[in-house]
Amino acid sequence: MQSNVSPQVRVASQRRVVVLGSTGSIGVQTLDVARRHPDRLKIVGLAAGTRGAELLAQAKEFNVGHLALGKPEAVSASVVAELEEQAAGFVGTKGSIGFGSDAVREMVHLEEADVVVNALVGAAGLQASYETLRAGKVLALANKESLVVGGNLIMPMASEPGMLMPIDSEHGAIYQCLLGEDSREVSKLWVTASGGPFRGKKRSDLENITPAQALAHPTWNMGKKISIDSSTLMNKGLEVIEAHHLFQMPYDRIEVVVQPQSAIHSMVEFTDGSVKAHLGTTDMRIPIQFALSYPERWDAPVEPLDFRMLGSLDFAAPDTETFRCLALAYHAGRVSGTLPCAMNAANEVAVAAFLAEQIGYLDIARCVEATMDAHEGAGVQVVESLEQLKAVDAWARAFASEWARGRRS
């Protein structure tokens, strides 16, 4: 369990940062933290998927000459040419630019980088996390799938305190609650959930939910995929699996509680019955900054929480009958092996199909469950390699895609 953390880890005068997924929600907020602390953070590499114009603007603002674009075919030739020009005319050491998913992943090997922020979406982020730690760099992790799919491979590489810092309000909260504590005295982790936009609804209320309704999160500003996952509570299920790996806690000692104000980001319960809770403003720049500043604390990037204006704090048990994805994630985590990989791949396919209005909202959980059942029927494997996980991921995506096509026909 990452609780007895030594504060001598990585105290560089200026931390040199690569941001993977720089044009997404977490990436943009990471750059805002860097903008506020130019004496402490230097952006040395940026990678994006399809938003070439935004990547170019970021590169110019932060004077970055090491760039990667995952899908250059999705942007205009003129933007590609400008990105190449930015790298060629970089003020500093020789710049570089690469195209394609391999180029995005290769950014972690930049010699001048100390820290890699992995804000890639989906299972594609797993190999980037693996290679970051293998290269001996600090991994600031926002990509949930790295641990959900490959936690058995990733965590042994992050045994040194501070080498893997979670960029997540819940896990960042638990990490801070555990600082200085004896892991043997921890009895339970409480992972909080807002309940999403459909808190209090029953299954019958959700049959005709539209993507626009599911994307309207009540308290957090997030990307599309994570917003849908939050509405189904799959996001919370993924966080439970992450917490299991990060803090070496068995699943029967990780509880989810709905806290709709999103003021409490998570809690740690100790053997004497006392509980530590981490509270703060609902702004992802706070956990992002902590991951980049640790073991220091820097000036707040947002207005702090005003308890006089907060009002009440409410708590409730999650409804796993209505929101089946949370129960499915617990099951996948307990079975372990390659089942979380199959679950995650099916969920990515199902969410994309729902956003494209190809399947219904409740079909997301149905698709995931059908894929998990098929994988368990074929035989869950012990996780041994990235190649094995890629094969399971590909199988699960094909199965889930076929299932979704069947719902449309």
Q: What percentage of the chain exceeds 70 in pLDDT? A: 95
Q: Does 155 share its domain with 191?
A: no
Q: Which of 111, 136, 167 is the last residue of a domain?
A: 167
How large is the average pLDDT for residues 204-210?
A: 94
Is 58 contained in some domain? Answer: yes
How large is the average pLDDT for residues 198-226?
A: 87
How large is the average pLDDT for residues 207-231?
A: 86
Q: Does 187 share its domain with 138?
A: no
Which residue would you say has higher pLDDT here, 226 or 271? 271
Q: Does 19 share its domain with 87?
A: yes
pLDDT at 93: 63
**pLDDT of 171 higher than 50:** yes
Is 370 contained in some domain? Answer: yes
Q: How is residue 60 written in tokens?
A: 């110019």
Q: Which domain holds residue 119?
A: 15-167
**pLDDT of 130 higher than 50:** yes
Q: Does 148 share its domain with 215?
A: no
- 53 and 26 Cβ atoms separated by less than 8 Å: no
Q: What is the mean pLDDT of the chain?
A: 92
Q: Which of 148, 167, 186 is the last residue of a domain?
A: 167
Is 1 contained in some domain? Answer: no
pLDDT at 79: 93
Q: Does 313 share its domain with 338?
A: yes
> Look-up: residue for tokens 């803090």?
247
List C-alpha distances in Å: 363 to 166, 208, 211, 224, 351: 31, 11, 13, 17, 9
* E strands, 148-245, in order: 164-166, 186-193
Q: Does 151 share its domain with 187?
A: no
pTM for the full predicted model? 0.92
pLDDT at 110: 95
CATH number at residue 115: 3.40.50.720
Q: Does 192 share its domain with 329?
A: yes
**What is the Cα–Cα distance from 19 to 386, expressed in whole angstroms?**
22
Q: Does 347 share its domain with 202?
A: yes
Is 336 contained in some domain? Answer: yes
Give the torsion through C-alpha atoms of 324, 329, 331, 334, to 10 deg: -160
CATH number at residue 256: 1.10.1740.10
Q: Does 130 share its domain with 250?
A: no
Q: Does 386 share its domain with 333?
A: yes
Is 212 contained in some domain? Answer: yes
Q: Does 257 share its domain with 161?
A: no
Strand partners, 118: 20, 141
Domains in the chain, number:
2
Is 6 contained in some domain? Answer: no
Is 131 contained in some domain? Answer: yes
Q: Does 55 share its domain with 126?
A: yes
Candidates 325, 329, 339; CA nearest to 379 is 339
pLDDT at 3: 44
How large is the average pLDDT for residues 259-267?
A: 94
Which residue would you say has higher pLDDT here, 364 or 222? 364
Is 45 contained in some domain? Answer: yes
**pLDDT of 8 higher than 60:** no
pLDDT at 92: 59
β-strand 275-279 against 264-270: which pairing, if any? Answer: antiparallel
Q: Which of 167, 192, 225 is the last residue of a domain?
A: 167
